[in-house]
Structure 1
Amino acid sequence: MSSRPSIRISALGLDLGRRRIGVAGCDGTGLIATGLTTIERTSFDADVAKLRAIVVERQVQTLVVGLPYTLKGELGYQARQVQKLAWRLAQALDLPLVFVDERLTSIAARDLIQQENRSPSRNKGLIDRKAAALILQQWLDEQRSAALTQARKT
């Protein structure tokens, strides 16, 4: 009887904004993403220090960053700004970087907050965390789907 070794997944999902960074993590199995915190941006070095503490504590292996494509699926100004910051963060944290199409995640996060009878305008940090969780969950689901497809082929 052979048992498959369990693969531990530790990824950090980021929703990068000009004022805040929404941060999400996943359980070790890579099934569920949850919002962890929102970092109020002050300086690049301070932001990296806060993220590094999370990376070390959670033994993060991959950064998953939401890329805000335009509704036409193109890289606009905002997406290019996110890419620049994401690459700098990945380099500073010495982690591989993956981008995920994050179109409409902030709207979905806002809708989730409204369903909880909370005010989106008073919970911007929560929106950022939930958006980061949606970004990370999308990546986790894609990884699982790809692994299942590969397993069926073998």
Structure 2
Amino acid sequence: MERILGLDIGKQKIGIAMSDLLGMTAQPKATIRSKNLEEQMQKILDLIKENSIKEVVVGLPKDINGGDGEQALWTKSFVEKLCLKNENIKIIYIDERYTSKLALKNLSHMSMKKVKDKELIDSLAAASILETYLRQKENGVI
């Protein structure tokens, strides 16, 4: 089996998570901090290549009614550009409306410095997005 990449995409920060080789667990890995779109994409493409990623799970920030708001449309545009640079990856979108809140809740149970917390929030949100996908896949929902 291969690792699956999870992304929590923002305009300035992108949370990164990765599954284990069995596709059973999701671990937070890093946060890409950059306002440069090309730099963000290149770092993601490097991770995809280094880890032989075939599937990428992307958190889609739906609006309160479940529709695609401005941020969701921006995220889809980012992903479309990413796919133009690597057509061999399968993209799966997961509703991410509550992942940042869940990440903050998980952080409240840990004893870490606030600076470290900020570094972890986006990657924990990405892990939550990926974990949601893994559970849905395991339960036959997807």
Normalised to the residue count of structure 2, the TM-score between the two structures is 0.90
Match of 1:18 among 11, 21, 24: 11
**Separation in 1 of the partners of 2:103 and 2:16?**
13
**Does residue 76 of the first structure (1) align with residue 63 of the second (2)?**
no
Per-residue deviation, 1:109: 0.3
1:62 matches 2:55: yes
Match of 2:98 among 83, 86, 104: 104
Measure how far apart 1:23 and its partner are. 0.5
Alpha-carbon distance between aligned partners in 2 of 1:59 and 1:122, rounded to the nearest angstrom: 29
Question: Which of residues 79, 90, 101 in structure 1 aligns to 2:83?
Answer: 90
Larger radius of gyration: 1
Unaligned runs of 5+ in 2: none
- 1:47 maps onto 2:40 in alignment: yes
Contact 1:37 1:129 in 2 (8 A): yes
- Report whether the alignment pairs 1:129 with 2:123: yes
Aligned to 1:4: none
Say which is worse superposed, 45-54 or 16-25, in terms of deviation: 45-54
Are the aligned partners of 1:15 and 1:66 in contact in 2 as well (CA < 8 Å)?
Answer: yes
CA distance in 1, matches of 2:114, 2:93: 26
Aligned 8 A contact 2:11 2:35 in 1: no
Contact in 2 for aligned 1:110/1:127 (Cα 8 Å): yes
Q: Provide the aligned C-alpha RMSD in A.
A: 1.9
Match of 1:30 in 2: 23
Distance apart, 1:122 and its partner CA: 5.6
- Residue 44 of structure 1: how far off its partner (Å): 2.2
After superposition, the Cα gap between the structure-2 partners of 1:103 and 1:119, relative to the gap in structure 1 and judged at 3 Å, is farther
TM-score by length of 1: 0.83
**Partners of 1:23 and 1:39 within 8 A in 2:** yes
* Residue-pair matches, total: 141
Structure 1: segments with no counterpart, 5+ residues: 1-7, 150-154
- The match for 1:145 is 139
Question: What is the rounded CA distance, in whole Å, between the counterparts of 1:103 and 1:9 in structure 2?
Answer: 27
